[in-house]
Amino acid sequence: MKVVISAAGTGGHINPGIAIANKIMEEDPNSEVIFIGTPTGLENDLVPRAGYELKTLEAYGIKKQITFSNLKKIIKTSMSTKVAKKYIKEINPDVVIGTGGYICGPVFAAATKFKIPTILHESNAYPGRAVRAFARKVDKILVGFEAAKDRLQGAKEVVVTGTPTKVKKVTLSNSRKQELMQELGLKPNLPIVLVFGGSQGAKRINDAMIGILQNKLNRNYQFIWASGPKQYDVIKEQLKDIDIDIENIENCKVLPYIYNMEEMYALCDLVVCRSGAMTVTELAICCKPAIFIPLPSVGANRQEDNARVVEKLNGGKVIINEELNFQNLNDAVTEMTSDLNKLEDMGMNVNKLEIKNVDDKIYAEICSVLKR
C-alpha cells in the first residue's frame, strides 16, 4: 500500500496522522507512507522523528479580512496546488489521507484531480474548514466525535472511529505511586490537580496559576503543573519577583514538560487543561474529569465544542479563556476537589466518550475504500 498523509501545524493534526501511519506499517510492513506538510509546522520535527519522509509546500489559512499579507498567503496557497499535483503524480499513491489543517486544501485538490481515493479524519466535534470544504468530494470522512456527523451534511460517508492516541490507561502500584509522590514532593492526604496547557503551555492558565500560588489558595489541594518548556524560565522569574522559589512551592510541583503523562493521569484526581480533541480523547481513556479552558478561535470555537460535549455528560466544567482568573479557577478547583467520590463519578462519565480499537477501525475503513 502506498499512502500519502496530509498533516500540518499542530500536534492535534500531526499525531493522529502518525498513529495512522504506524498502524498501516504494523499491518502491512511493505507499505510506503509519505507525509506532506508545511516548511514551518511542528511536522518538521514529529514526522522525521517518527521515521517517515516529509515533503513540504506552503499553505495558509484564508482570513476574511482583505489585507496585503492575506492576499500574499492566498496566492502562495493557490500556487502550492501545483506543487501538490507534482508530488501526487510522482508518488502515485493508492490513497490520500488528511488529518486536518490548511495543508489539506492543496493536497486534496491535487488528489481529486488525479482521481486518487481520499479519506479525511476529523478529531474535533466541530469539523475544520478544510474538512467541511471537501466533505462532498472525499470518499470517506472518519470522525472522533458523534457530534461531528451532524455538521457534515452532504458527505458521501461519515464513520465514527474515534481519534488515535498513544496514551493508554495505567494503574499505578502502591510502591510506584509512593515513589512518584516523593519525587514530586506531594502529600498523600490532599487531592492532586494536574495542570497543563498543551505541549507549549498556555499563558492564560499559567497566569491564573501564579495568582493562586501568590495568594496561597492551594491549602486544601495540590498541583502538578506543566508550564510548557518555553514559559518555564519566564514563570520562574515571575515567581521569584514575588518571593516564591519555583523549586520549593508548598503543595505544587512545577515542571517544564511531562514525559510520563499516563502516570500523571493515573496519579491525579482532576485535570485543568485546554480541550483539543487529543486531550479529550486521553481524558476519556483515563477516566479523568476536567476543568476546561478552551483555546479561543477567531473562527469556529472547536475546542469549546469539544469541552461542551464533556460538560453535557457531567464530566467537566468549562471556563471561557477570556473569563479565566485565579479566583474563579480556585473556586472551581476547590468545589470539585471537595468530593472525591463525585470526581470519580465524573471521570466515569468522561469515559463514555472512549471508543475502543480506534486504530483497527481506521485501518478497516482505509482498506474498505481501497477495495472499491
pTM: 0.85
- CA–CA dist 127, 147 (Å, integer): 10
Longest dimension (CA), the chain: 66
Cell 488528489: give the residue.
111
Domain range 174-353, CATH architecture: 3-Layer(aba) Sandwich (3.40)
Q: Is the pLDDT of residue 297 over 90?
A: no
Q: What is the pLDDT confidence band of residue 134, given thresholds at 50, 70 and 90?
A: confident
Q: Is the pLDDT of residue 299 over 70?
A: no
Please answer whether residues 282 and 263 qualify as being in contact, where contact means their C-beta atoms are separated by less than 8 angstroms: no
212 or 9, which is more confident: 212
Same fold, 2-162+355-371 and 174-353: yes
Tell me the pLDDT tens digit for each residue of 219-278.
Answer: 999 999 999 888 999 999 999 999 999 999 999 999 999 989 999 999 999 999 999 999
Where would I find the beta strands (DSSP E) of 183-328? 192-196, 222-226, 252-255, 270-273, 290-292, 316-318
pLDDT for the residue 166 = 84
- CA–CA dist 78, 2 (Å, integer): 26
Domain ranges, ordered by start, for the chain: 2-162+355-371, 174-353
Domain 2-162+355-371 in CATH 3.40.50.2000: yes
Q: What is the pLDDT confidence band of residue 300, given thresholds at 50, 70 and 90?
A: low
Q: Is the pLDDT of residue 73 over 70?
A: no
